Structure 1
Amino acid sequence: MKIGSRTIKTAIGTPISISIAQVLGLTNFVSAGILTILCIQPSRKRSVLSAWHRFLACAVAAIFSVIFFELIGYHPIVIGSMLICFIPVTVWLKVTPGIATSSVIILNLYSAHNISYSFIIDQFLIIIIGIGTALLVNLYMPSLDNQLKQKQDELENHFQIILNEIALYIRNKNENWDGKELSICEDILQDAMNLVSLDKENHLLRNKHPYYDYFMMRNKQLELLQKMLPLVSRLPNRDSISLKIADFFEKLGDAVHPGNTATLYLDELEQLQKSFDQEELPKTKEEFETRANLFHLLHEIEDYLLLKKKFKKSDVTGKKRLKKRPE
């Protein structure tokens, strides 16, 4: 079983905060460790927001505790009455994540049976130590670049399979492929976007993420591939047009890559379109429907390549021959 970084940080931060509170001679020093456990978050952004929410909620909880316990009394019913008023206030202030943390402070103040100025200072020091330790420990976040690169490689491998399977179907009408790569790609994209979102939260001053546009582009390309499949199934059996389309899909499949040489493939696609225009006009309804599906398919392929072309600056400089270059 793999132990995550959040578990390790919790295991490190909790004894540190308890030790600091204990050395300072604070009452309820164990509460500092509880606050640290509650404040460890999976990203820097969430950690900062959590620290603010919990500190403000604790401050409000201290004020409510003084008012209710000192004016009404130290009784369990008073705790319930106070929570009825306190929780809606945290909702109004949009600091509901701090309810659990502030409950620790409320119970500490309740157990004192006499809230003095020094005891309130004591509790605020516990809040600062517990939340502050969690915030400092959470400054370290492991890089997600390797995981994102792995997702990129997995996605491109499955794109290659999809494109090559399409080419194989056009040539031989091979129906053995179950299309599972399509759903696998959807899962990879979902996991990748979750990682991108988490990594963005770990870089507070970075608005853009290098992998965000890439995975969004691949997601749109996957949608286009799904739209192409019904069109591919309607192509005629092994005529010259179908074989040329199969060859083109095979080239795309063999050359899936993070780079951008889509311009080369768009040029070849344009030549294909011109060659198809020179074919004889359809004479039957079936031939007409086939030709319509063909042009629709070519349009989808063009959109597929244009997505890559717009994704980043082209890697093509000058005129280069097309020899299985990345699409």
Structure 2
Amino acid sequence: MDQQSAILELDNALAIDMSGADLNTGSAANELQFKDYPREASGSSNLLPIGSKQNFANSRGDDGPTDENEDAGLMANNTKTKAPASFWQLNYFSQYFNVTTQDVLARILWSVLPIKSATGANYIERHIQNNADIYGPFWINVTLIFSIAIFGNIANYLSTSGEQDSWHNDWNKLGLAASSVFSYTLFVPVLLWFFFWFRGCTITYTLFEIICAYGYSLSVYIPISFLWIIEIRLLQYILVIVGAFLSGSVLTMSFAPIVNSDPSQTFKTSYFMLLLIIGLHSLIAFSFLFYFF
């Protein structure tokens, strides 16, 4: 009996140990299974995957910027506007060279066509206003200076039949042509702009818009200077008159609204200024013809 009871007690002990092992094994397996943890509304950093920006920042002991903050910072830096350049800085004049080849060609073409648009806009309002450039007027002036000096010497050579005793190459005309062309393009617009400002005209253009219009108005004299080589004085006069009338009419039509906006409008200020504009434009052309040709 004692031996059988001992065997039964041993079997019971082994059964208890096996049941405990099964329970332990089940609990261990349960512990190894993945569990779903609910996300907190505040977005706890412990729930972020390893390697994320916020978890990496927390590992260093700081909060670190979130993606939204970084994007907002980049957008703020990109949207910062630079302060406008002053007049004496070179960057200020970069806006007056922002022009395409098509714009320059269109402004040259319409500077000799005294035609208003369907809406009644004149040459400056339609092609130059709010986008005046210096690029086109500068190269038009330079081209006109060289064309007058070169073709003037050629015309003098043809008039003397190439005789060395009565003809010589006069390059001093180049400096005179440069001074006259640039003076006309700069000083006349400055005087007009000052006069309109002094009279208190309600409609006006900026100084650079007036300079731009006058620079393009001289483009008509470049092909005319080439035709001045022909030694027919009557033809030369006709070319001067036609060129001055076409481009001068464009200027007159462009400045007519400003003259008419003079609050103390009289006959002198309204008509005399328009006659002065086309008169000066014709005078510069006749001076080219009489001195250089």
Q: Same fold (TM over 0.5)?
A: no
Relative to the length of structure 1, the TM-score reads: 0.24
Relative to the length of structure 2, the TM-score reads: 0.27
Bigger Rg over Cα: 2
